[in-house]
Amino acid sequence: MTTRRHLLRLTAPLALLVVAWSLGFAWFVHRIHRPYAPPPSADGIVVLTGGADRIQTALHLLQENRATRLLVSGAGTGVDLADLAHLSGLHAAPLAGRVTLGHAATSTRGNALETAAWVGRYDIHSLIVVTAFYHMPRALTELRRVLTGVALYPLPVQPPGLTGHGGRMLALRLEVGEFTKFLIARSGFSMLTPGLAPPPARIP
């Protein structure tokens, strides 16, 4: 009997943790799959890189004049606007002068810091946020931590390859990993990492 009580004392907290994590994950999945209202026009657009589909969406929004400026945060070194426009089926010339390529961010927190610097430089008060649907809660968490007085309008992107049986399994793995990262961001532990490559790139 004593052994059983001892086991219960050991396993009960773990069982509660599993239940809490499961409920939290169910809420997270519901949140990332809910429909968002189309964003209104804004002062700026920020796209958090990680997939060509995100950049294409952001560049098309800019071409449609849904905002005045666009920040591509976390762009790879060596990437230029001509390459991005070509991949998006657009001409770079009409967009030149309206797009900033940020090369400093190395994480979602870095994206937020890079965005905050850019927002301050151009006096932006409303921002369309473009990233993958599963990444949106963490992106908004980090952005709201460093931006004050800036309205954020999420525009989640559905990456290709996440449909069908194989795609759903991949999506589930992405969602589980992203939920863990979201919890870290909400807890504030992500603030312990610099998020920007040393030395930080100057945003023109």
Residues 81 and 7 in one domain: no
Residues 19 and 66 in one domain: no
Q: Give 83-139 pLDDT, tens digit per residue.
A: 899 889 999 999 999 999 999 999 999 999 999 999 999 999 999 999 999 999 999
Number of domains, the chain: 2
Band of the pLDDT at 200, cuts 50, 70, 90? very low
pLDDT of residue 168: 80
203, part of any domain: no
pLDDT of residue 31: 92
pLDDT at 201 > cutoff 50: no
199, part of any domain: no
Residues 158 and 94 in one domain: yes
Q: Which two tokens stand for residue 133?
A: 């649907």
Residues 24 and 47 in one domain: no
Q: At a CB cut-off of 8 Å and minimum separation 6, what does 109 contact?
A: 142, 185, 190, 191, 193, 195
What SS3 state is found at 131? Answer: strand
**Is 129 within 8 Å of 143 (Cβ atoms)?**
yes
132, part of any domain: yes
Percent of the residues in the chain that have a pLDDT greater than 90, as a whole number:
63
Q: At a CB cut-off of 8 Å and minimum separation 6, what does 17 contact?
A: none
Residues 10 and 65 in one domain: no
Residues 28 and 45 in one domain: no
* 189 phi and psi angles, rounded to 5 deg: -65, -25
Residues 21 and 107 in one domain: no
201, part of any domain: no
pLDDT of residue 2: 66
Question: Could you give the angle at the alpha carbon of 14 between the alpha carbons of 12 and 15, nearest 5°?
Answer: 65
pLDDT of residue 77: 82
Q: Give 137-166 pLDDT, tens digit per residue.
A: 999 999 999 999 999 999 999 988 776 666
CATH number for position 51: 3.40.50.620
197, part of any domain: no
Residues 66 and 117 in one domain: yes
pLDDT of residue 41: 94
198, part of any domain: no
Q: At a CB cut-off of 8 Å and minimum separation 6, what does 26 contact?
A: none
pLDDT at 23 > cutoff 90: yes
Residue 98 identity (one-letter amino acid):
R
Mean confidence (pLDDT) of the chain = 88
pLDDT of residue 100: 95
Which helix (DSSP H) or strand (DSSP E) does residue 163 occupy?
Answer: none
CA distance 8 to 30: 32
79, part of any domain: yes
Give mean pLDDT, residues 172-198.
87
Residues 115 and 19 in one domain: no
Instruction: Provide the domain limits for residue 6.
Output: 1-34
Residues 26 and 74 in one domain: no
7, part of any domain: yes
Residues 28 and 54 in one domain: no
Residues 21 and 72 in one domain: no
